[in-house]
Structure 1
Amino acid sequence: MPKGANQKFKLYYLMKIMLEKTDDEHSITMPEILTELERYQVSAERKSIYADLQALEKLGVEVIGEQVGRTYYYHVGSRQFELPELKLLVDSIQSSKFITARKSNELIRKLESLCSEYEAKKLQRQVYVSGRIKTMNESIYYNVDSIHNAITENKKIMFQYFQWNLKKEMELRHNGEMYHISPWGLSWNDENYYLVGYDSDDQMIKHYRVDKMLKIRMSDEPREGKKYFEKFDIGTYSRKNFSMFGGKEERVRLLMDNQMAGVVIDRFGKDVSMVPVDDNHFSISVDVVVSQQFFGWVFALGKGVKIIGPESVVQQVNQEIKRLVEQYNME
């Protein structure tokens, strides 16, 4: 049999065919394998294919042969990623606000290459998340990588920070001056990615929306603030900062209806201590950054929750209520 033009790539194309054309629900026969190889300008005999399928096994591609009647059918068994795992990754990408629509499509196409062409069609799905608006900053994908590189190299980063104005234009903060921050971690909170780092000038921990960072570059200066992060837990930090808005951290006491137990666990985790007050209520003491966003969370729970301490925070709540009454006074 004359050799095809791509004969030296025979094993590669055989692997490609098996991965793309077969899965647990779709198999291929030996004549079909030979036909597919011919499309890649590779000629082969049955005997050599048997040996090549065994070689694929050694390369980590599990090929299962099953006899049905007088015909043998072959398909790839276990893969690096199972279909349910890929579906989960696709759903995460599509529902992630911080990944642009274009970058989402690119990532999903790459995930489709990890399964058969039949399973790939099942990944072409739309996940709808209420209120989701994809970010318009394409560079976030590379911002995250730059931040991780700086953390690995133990260096500060420099960047510009912007906000949107009424004309829907990027407006640089601090007159466009560069921020100099020591990056220590990234937090995914309320559908946004945040850099958590140390500001040497203000000597405090701060956070920044990654999709609002521009022109990130690594500095030659080593990171600072190590002592602040030795026992720092970014997950705890995110729970304290409602919607990542700043404010003063306080130990706040809340009185809650028993039916709010699930809300408490969802927000603060199972380690929070819920102390029974009476048959219908319990109290908790939690560290939170007191802000309007925190008050908004409390108000949204209605009669089910009440701030009972400390007195300074109760006063702030009363001031916020007074402000809302004045703002929406219809008289």
Structure 2
Amino acid sequence: MPKGTNQKFKLYRLAQLMLEQTDDEHYITMPEILAGLGNYGITADRKSIYQDLKDLEVLGIEVEGEPDGKGYHYHVVSRPFELPELKLLVDAIQSSRFITEKKTNALIRKLEKLVSRYEANRLQRQVFVSGRIKTMNESIYYAVDTIHNAISDNKKIRFQYYQWNVKKEMVLRRDGAFYEISPWGLSWDSENYYLVGFDSEAGEIRHYRVDKMLRIQMTDKAREGKEHFRKLDMADYAKKSFGMFGGEEKTVKLLVDHQLAGVIVDRFGKDVHMIPVDENHFTVSVTVMVSSQFLGWIFSLGEKVEILGPEEVKEQMRREGERLLKQYS
């Protein structure tokens, strides 16, 4: 039989056809395969298609044929991502506050291309973004990329930083002057992305909301602050900083009701030492950045948790309580 036309595209189009139209529940027959290739102007005989289906394994696409009446039908049996895995990724993208609604929908549409058109419909039913508070900074993806490149190249970055005023207007901090920071890591906390870096001018570690950074650039200056980050555990740093608010680092001893054991483990991890006091309480010592956010977290737990020390932290809590009482009396 003469060789078919457009052969150089045949394997690519066959892979596309199998990935888009088949899955564990949907099959395609040999006549349907030939017709599908024909839609792309590709002609081929059955014998060559049998070999091509085997060759797809080289591309990581495993195809299985099963008896169907007098013939066979075929489907893809393995993909780089299973549908449940993609649903997890969709959920993560949807719940990420730092990803804009526009980018959220664009990313999900790209994920849909990793499954068949039937499974893509099931992913679409997972999509509900409207009404969720999302960042409005579309440039955050390029900012993150610039930060990663600067870390890899051991360079400082410079950027402008903004905040919102009561008129919901974007106002640049420092009257628009650029910040120059040595980036050492990125942290995801309370649904926001933070740059953790060294401020040479202040001589300390600081963090910045990535979605509030503008005009970010990588400089040709080498990073500084390596000695500050050599022993820094980034995950531990985020755990100590409530809502990424700074404060003086202290080891705080808490008296906690047994009912809040899960809350303590969720916040500080399973390595935390809980020392029984009586049948209803235990004590735990945790290292945290003592900030208004930390004190607010303690307040939110009510009478089931009490700060035992150090005394200066207890005094901070007393002053905060007095302030609230005065404010609402």
The answer to whether TM tops 0.5 is: yes
Aligned to 2:310: 310
| Rounded Cα–Cα distance in structure 2 between residues aligned with 1:63 and 1:47 | 16
- TM-score by length of structure 2 reads 0.97
Q: How does 1:227-246 map to 2 (within 5 A)?
A: 227-246=227-246
Unaligned runs of 5+ in 1: none
Shift of 1:260: 0.9
Identity of aligned residues (%): 66
Task: Report the counterpart of residue 256 of structure 1 in structure 2.
Answer: 256
Measured in 1, the distance between the counterparts of 2:125 and 2:170 equals: 32
Separation in structure 1 between the aligned mates of residue 10 and residue 84 of structure 2, nearest angstrom:
31
Map 1:12-51 onto structure 2 (within 5 A).
12-51=12-51
Distance verdict in 2 for CA 1:132–1:266, change over 3 Å: farther
- Superposed CA RMSD in Å reads 1.6
How far apart in 1 are the matches of 2:128 and 2:256? 32
Distance in 2 separating the partners of 1:69 and 1:38: 24
Displacement after TM superposition at 1:128 (Å): 6.4
Q: Is the 8 A contact 2:4 2:45 kept in 1?
A: no
Structure 2: give runs of 5+ residues left out of the alignment.
Answer: none
Matched, 1:267 2:262: no
Aligned mates of 1:79, 1:11 — CA distance in 2: 17
Query: Do 1:194 and 1:210's aligned partners in 2 also have CA atoms closer than 8 Å?
Result: yes
Deviation at 1:170, TM superposition (A): 0.9
**How big is the shift at 1:71?**
2.0
- Distance in 2 (alpha carbons) for counterparts of 1:315 and 1:52: 75
Could you tell me how far 1:44 is from its partner in structure 2? Answer: 1.4
Contact 1:95 1:127 in 2 (8 A): no
Tell me, yes or no, if the aligned pair for 1:95 and 1:128 is still in contact at 8 Å.
Answer: no
CA offset digits 1:73-111 (Å, max 9, x no partner): 100111111111111111100111000011111111111
State the 1:5 CA deviation. 6.1
The CA distance in 2 between the partners of 1:121 and 1:45, in whole Å, is 32
Q: Offset at 1:6? A: 3.5
Moved runs in structure 1, 4+ residues, more than 3 A? 1-7, 125-129
State whether residues 161 and 213 of structure 2, in contact with CA within 8 Å, keep that contact through their aligned partners in structure 1: yes
Tell me if 1:172 matches 2:172: yes
The aligned counterpart of 1:119 is 119
Q: Is the 8 A contact 2:275 2:284 kept in 1?
A: yes
Which residue matches 2:225? 225
Q: State the TM-score, normalizing by the size of structure 1.
A: 0.96
2:107 is aligned to 107
- SS of aligned partner of 1:77: strand
Equivalent position SS for 2:85: helix
Q: Could you tell which deviates more after superposition, 55-64 or 139-148? A: 55-64
Task: Please give the residue correspondences for 1:83-102 in structure 2 after superposition, counting only pairs within 5 Å.
Answer: 83-102=83-102
